[in-house]
Amino acid sequence: MKVLKGQDILALGFMTFALFVGAGNIIFPPIVGLQSGPHVWMAALGFLVTAVGLPVVTVIALAKVGGGMDELSSPIGKIAGGLLAAAAYLAVGPLFATPRTATVSFEVGVAPLTGESPLALFIYSLVYFLVVLAVSMYPGKLLDTVGRFLAPLKIIALAVLGIAAFALPAGTIGDAQPAYVAAPFSQGFIQGYLTMDTLGALVFGIVIVNAIRSRGVESPRLITRYAVIAGLIAGVGLTLVYISLFRLGAGSHDIAATATNGAVVLHAYVQHTFGSLGSGFLAVLIALACLVTAVGLTCACAEYFSRLLPLSYRALVVILAAFSLLVSNLGLTKLIMFSVPVLTAIYPPCIVLVGLSFCKGMWHSQTRIMAPVMAVSLVFGVIDAIKGAGLQWLPSWAEHLPLSEQGLAWLVPCVATLVVAVVCDRLLGKPREVMA
């Protein structure tokens, strides 16, 4: 039986970590640290739940079913599962996350040197997606290109930044914004959504499993074990990166008090700590971090849609890279503005899907439990999304739902639906098998 060597397992863990650490992972923690002030570690705890805990649990859940989101969502039916999977792949693929990797790396690392002209963004994003295209064409070599080469470079750069955040703080901790004074944990929890890591984990599951299979491992038990180890290595790495970036943001009040996003905080800190040399370092770090994530997302999306559409994997890589190039030229602010409501709507059903997948042995029929709870989570996720977008489309009662202020209006209805569904499942007993 074929097994992975220790160095291959480590490379797999590095690859998984590198796939996750992209644009959002680097720009959101510093702004949370800055805005939460003295409440930084409570906000960080909420952030780590959605940006580390859920992604690692999702990788484990996918590993148990062979890596594909289709298998995980099978209890809710082929059509509903397919729509959810397509929405997740598109959100973390060409619509939001992949283009965002280019815009973030441009605005943080390149724009301070070239200026924020549309031409500079276009030239940068064109070169960027040509590299993404070249690497994504050979998904079987990801463990070598990413796990053994790009990921270690990325880890070294992040380690330098993380050590500097603690050893060389830029200044004092400022006052917290009102939202963080009122509810620091839930604010951090919601900000963790924006990294898109749980959706990313749903997408990366198949990339991780395919990387293991590319080494000749065929045993489902071993594939699951290696994927779980890779997820845990990635989780430890993510936690260390986030803690250092929270510390960096919290101590940057003196140099970036008016910053509106993490990119500004990061640039101010690096400029203050490392001088002009720091700008070059930051440009390389962000470009590396974002590039690896963009490759992983492009590979995963092409892999998924090649099974649904009459197009080859390579043709889809070209289409996805070209579309991401176009969207990336909208600019970072517009991308974040469009992505927040969509993510707020589709995150709750994805969280419910992953969470309930671990409890399938506890009831007679998965469909009876998962279908109603996920439907309710989607409805209330959409309500949260409409409110987050500032649209006045909702009745007054929707403004006063439990945990509504924290953006978690879906949680209480989902728990209530789960209780009712479990009772019904117990009363109905095991579903009858249809005779052929």
CA distance 424 to 267: 55
CA distance 276 to 254: 19
pLDDT in tens, the chain (436 residues): 688 888 888 888 888 888 788 767 888 899 999 999 899 999 999 999 988 998 888 888 888 877 677 788 888 888 888 888 888 888 878 888 888 888 888 877 788 777 778 899 899 999 999 999 998 888 777 667 766 777 787 788 888 888 888 888 888 888 888 888 888 988 898 888 777 788 888 877 777 888 888 888 888 888 888 988 999 999 999 999 999 999 999 888 888 888 877 878 888 888 888 887 777 777 787 788 788 888 888 988 898 899 888 999 999 999 999 999 988 887 666 766 777 777 778 888 988 998 888 887 788 888 889 999 999 999 988 887 787 666 666 677 766 777 776 667 888 999 999 999 999 999 888 876 544 4
Q: At what angle do helices 332-357 and 54-64 cross, to 10 degrees?
A: 50
The residue type found at 157 is A
pLDDT tens figures, 223-279: 888 988 999 999 999 999 999 999 999 888 888 888 877 878 888 888 888 887 777
- Residue appearing with tokens 């042995």: 361
Does this model's pTM top 0.85? My answer is no
Residue 436 has a pLDDT of 43
CA distance 318 to 310: 15
CA distance 258 to 405: 24
**Length of the chain (residues):** 436
CA distance 38 to 24: 23
Interior/surface letters 292-331, b for 16+ CB within 10 angstroms, e for the rest: bbbbbbbbbbbbbbbeeeeeeeeebbbbbbebbbebbbeb
- CA 302 remoteness from chain centre: 18
